[in-house]
Amino acid sequence: MVLGEGHQRFIQTMMIRGIVNEQEAKTLHQHCCEVHKEHYVADKLEEFIQVVNSKLEALNMQIRTRASEDNGMTCYALVNTANNELTRMSSDYADNELELFRRTMDLIMSSDDSTASSTDILNMADSLQTRKLTKSAAECLLKRMVSDNWLVEKQGDYSLSTRCVMDMEPYIRTMYDEEQVKVCAVCHCLAFKYQICANPLCTVKIHNPCAEKYFKKKAVQRCPGCSELWPNKVRAECRQSLSQRQR
């Protein structure tokens, strides 16, 4: 079966944008339908995307939705579903640049707060196996990766962008061991910014927005794993200030 032009335009735009928020996805849906005079129903975005995905999945691609870990807002991204390599990035970055990215990812994955400091990243630049990068070249590269929407920078600390996490989920799940790959107990997606259970023996982690939703309806907030009382927001703030003090 052939996709309609409205669906094709939607895919093309997603290929260029990489990731859009919910409002943008809705506007784009409407735009694509109207341009090609196709039937448009405002609240049928999910069905529209299902049709798109029915074709993309055979090509190892998919439009996936995910709540942003920062604000819980739904994001839509075009992702690779099969590749365990950093395929999508390999056209834009040289071998040594990809190596630095991989090693940045290693740092992020093994850190407690899912970030890597710019100092630590830059210090790896002249020990790359492929080809050394100068500090200034590495700095430029980090900027480029931020503007290309792979990394997010906050006060000198780098973390993986939502788009990156969505696109590289298969890669992350294969490349890192269980201890490093943290998963939200509510939505079962990868977790980078999360709250943890107060019980030191319990490994449950929950995204901030997921926790908000999950505990909202409950009279008493308890860990879904060990039933320990869950101090919600307070805990998150504690955690943050704790990790800041450590640095």
Partner 1 sequence: MTQRKSSGKRSSTAVGVEEDDSIFTQPTTSQVQKGMEKLTKAQIDEKTTELVQYILMKDQKKIPIKRADIVKNVLKEYKNVFQEIMNRAQQRFEQVFGFKLVEIDAKNHVYILINKLEPVEGSEMISGNPKTGLLFVILSLVYMKGGVVPEGLVWNTLKKMKVDPGERHPEFGDVKKLVTDEFVRQRYLEYTKVPHTEPVKYVFTWGQRAEVEVSKIKILEFLGELHSQDPQHWSQQYKDASSQWSSRAPQPSTSSQRCGLVRSPEPPLGLGPPPRSGAEETRQPLTHLAIVVVEEHTG
Q: How many Å apart are CA 13 and CA 162, to the nearest integer? A: 18
For residue 3, give the DSSP letter: P
Cβ 82 to partner 1 shortest distance, Å:
8
Q: Per the structure block, which two tokens stand in for 96?
A: 């040594």
Confirm or reject binding of residue 11 to partner 1 (CB under 8 A): yes
Among 29, 64, 66, 88, binds partner 1 (CB under 8 A): 88
Instruction: Name the minimum Å distance from CB 208 to partner 1.
Output: 23
Exactly one of 50, 90, 110, 134 binds partner 1 (CB under 8 A); which one? 90
Amino acid letter, 194? Y
Binder of partner 1 out of 33, 45, 56, 165 (CB under 8 A): 56
* Residue with smaller CB distance to partner 1, 147 or 246: 147
How far apart, in Å, are the Cα atoms of 59 and each of 63, 79, 81? 12, 11, 9
Residue from 101, 151, 88, 91 nearest 130 by CA: 101
H helix or E strand, kind and range, residue 65: strand 61-67
Q: Which stretch binds partner 1 (CB under 8 A): 1-9, 128-136, 202-210, 217-225?
A: 1-9
Nearer to partner 1, 102 or 144 (CB): 144
Least Å distance between CB 96 and partner 1?
A: 18
Cα dihedral sign, 13-164-65-235: negative
Which of 127, 147, 155, 244: binder of partner 1 (CB under 8 A)?
147
- The alpha carbons of the chain give a radius of gyration, in whole angstroms, of 20
Backbone angles phi, psi at 212, to 5 degrees: -60, -45
Q: 22, 40, 44, 55: which one contacts partner 1 (CB under 8 A)? A: 55
Q: How far is the CB of 136 from partner 1 (least distance, A)?
A: 15
User: What are the two backbone dihedrals, phi and then psi, of residue 165, each rounded to the nearest 5 degrees?
Assistant: -60, -40
- Torsion of Cα atoms, 134 then 102 then 206 then 154, to 10°: 20
- 28 counts as binding partner 1 under rule CB under 8 A: yes
Residue ranges binding partner 1 (CB under 8 A)? 1-3, 5, 8-9, 11-13, 15-18, 20-21, 23-24, 27-28, 31, 35, 55-56, 58-61, 80, 83, 87-88, 90-92, 147, 149
